[in-house]
Amino acid sequence: MKKSILIIALLSISFLHSQAHSHLSAKPLSFPDIPGYKSLKTDLHIHTVFSDGYVWPNIRVMEALRDNLDAISLTEHLEYQPHLDDIPHPDRNRSYTIALEEAKEHDLLIVHGSEITRSAPMGHNNAVFIKDANPILQDKAEDAFAEAKKQGAFVFWNHPAWHNQAPQGNPILSDFQKERIKKGELHGIEVINSVDYAQESLALALEHHLTIMGTSDIHGLINWDYTEKGNQRPITLVFAKERSITSLQEALFAGRTVAIYNDLLVGKSEFLVPLLKASITVEKASYVKNTQVLELELKNVTSSDLQFQNESEYSFYDSSPVFEIKTGETKKVSIKTLVQKDEITLKLKAIGCFTAPNTQPIIQWAIKTK
């Protein structure tokens, strides 16, 4: 017990130390709303000392607040409990209870969740929006999934391309998963887990109508695993009707998501395209005096660096057709329209963004000139 308390204390000191050194912190996550929906920043795959993580639940709340998240879920392994001798907790809801208490003083949604942990072909799966984790702890995986469904849980398949489950690195949809989908017991799939993106998982999501998910699957400190390495934590951006647990749950079941890690954005076209369109604002559109060269100023209002390739009918005057707009940056580009126009359509392919395997969306802006 003393050893575990010491570890927790040291990690807490490390967290506070990292807070004091703000130059190490990544920019707080920020993405615009899209028409009709609020864009909620979520991480629904997180661990603490109440399974195989290394921090106390309140640290997870503090990290989420620093990263400007809207919602998190502490999804402890129900079956895998390596710290149980040092931190005995017969109640599998304990982690959630501590986080919920910490979050009372802050503007952060805490989603009740747990992880159902099995070897392949059943794999690891998170059940979120549960009511009680204890009855989900079952000997048979089928019974665990049935109980999660009974509680109205949204269930998603974790790291399906993980080499411990899929030695070739490609996810394999087993008969077990197919049966869970058929019974309405499996609703989503991680296409981004930690630093890994699997386009094969995206293909499965599209084929089987599974919600596209991105998570940190954090065990240590966010600073250790992401920030100090120059990365942001992976998240699922959920497009909800309002900022609430109920609305968040409805949106996930409806599949309104985009998975994000740094400058990688993955989602269905109907959500990714309006997100990217809202992510770039046109600050200026005017012709150079006595020319037909149109100068544009494009601002990236997100926390992700975004890369584009010109797909317009007009060529660029003074820059490469492939360019990057860093977070918060305003990029100047000049376009040769040959004759002055009152309005143009700017078409850019979003490089590093995917609506399907190897498929990058083209975003259009109708721009009035001055």
Span 46-60, pLDDT tens digits: 999 999 999 999 999
Whether the per-residue pLDDT at 44 is higher than 50: the answer is: yes
Tokens of 66: 């620093």
Q: How confident is the model at residue 18 (pLDDT cuts 50, 70, 90)?
A: very low
DSSP for 177-224 reads HHHHHHTT---EEEEEETTEE-HHHHHHHHHTTPEEEEE--BSS-HHH
What would the mean pLDDT of 224-244 be, rounded to a whole number?
96
Residue with tokens 């009709």: 36
Residue with tokens 């002055």: 340
How many Cα atoms occupy the beta-carbon half-sphere of 226 within 13 Å? Answer: 25
Q: Evaluate whether 296 touches 367 at the Cβ level (below 8 Å).
A: yes
**Alpha carbon distance 20, 6 (integer Å):** 21
% of the chain at pLDDT higher than 90: 86
Model pLDDT, residue 246: 98
Enumerate domains of the chain plus CATH numbers: 2-262 (3.20.20.140), 276-368 (2.60.40.10)
What would the mean pLDDT of 189-212 be, rounded to a whole number?
97
Q: Evaluate whether 353 touches 276 at the Cβ level (below 8 Å).
A: yes
Tokens of 59: 């640290």
Q: How confident is the model at residue 355 (pLDDT cuts 50, 70, 90)?
A: very high
Rounded to an integer, what is the distance from CA 241 to the centroid of its chain?
Answer: 18
**Which of 281, 257, 252, 272 minimizes the C-alpha distance to 350?**
272
Tokens of 363: 């975003």
**Alpha carbon distance 40, 241 (integer Å):** 10
Tokens of 119: 């070897």
Whether the per-residue pLDDT at 254 is higher than 90: the answer is: yes
**Alpha carbon distance 101, 86 (integer Å):** 22
**Alpha carbon distance 140, 297 (integer Å):** 58
Whether the per-residue pLDDT at 41 is higher than 90: the answer is: yes
What would the mean pLDDT of 137-148 be, rounded to a whole number?
97
What would the mean pLDDT of 344-357 be, rounded to a whole number?
97
Between residues 168 and 205, which one has the greater pLDDT?
A: 205
What would the mean pLDDT of 19-33 be, rounded to a whole number?
69
Between residues 246 and 167, which one has the greater pLDDT?
A: 246
Tokens of 45: 């795959």
Most confident of 85-94, 276-285, 315-324: 276-285
Q: Evaluate whether 188 touches 155 at the Cβ level (below 8 Å).
A: yes
Span 292-316, pLDDT tens digits: 999 999 999 999 999 999 999 999 9
Strands lying side by side in the sheet with 362-368: 322-325, 306-310, 343-351, 362-368
Between residues 252 and 162, which one has the greater pLDDT?
A: 252
Q: Evaluate whether 160 touches 123 at the Cβ level (below 8 Å).
A: yes
**Alpha carbon distance 74, 46 (integer Å):** 5
Q: How confident is the model at residue 24 (pLDDT cuts 50, 70, 90)?
A: very low
Whether the per-residue pLDDT at 227 is higher than 90: the answer is: yes
**Alpha carbon distance 182, 324 (integer Å):** 43
What would the mean pLDDT of 223-236 be, rounded to a whole number?
96
Q: Which helix (H) or strand (E) holds 16?
A: helix 2-20
**Alpha carbon distance 27, 6 (integer Å):** 30
**Alpha carbon distance 165, 148 (integer Å):** 22
Q: How confident is the model at residue 168 (pLDDT cuts 50, 70, 90)?
A: confident
Whether the per-residue pLDDT at 333 is higher than 50: the answer is: yes
Span 68-122, pLDDT tens digits: 999 999 999 999 999 999 999 999 999 999 999 999 989 999 999 999 999 888 8
Whether the per-residue pLDDT at 262 is higher than 90: the answer is: yes
Q: How confident is the model at residue 17 (pLDDT cuts 50, 70, 90)?
A: very low
Rounded to an integer, what is the distance from CA 217 to the centroid of its chain?
Answer: 11
DSSP for 68-86 reads T-SEEEE-EESS--TTTTT
Model pLDDT, residue 12: 52
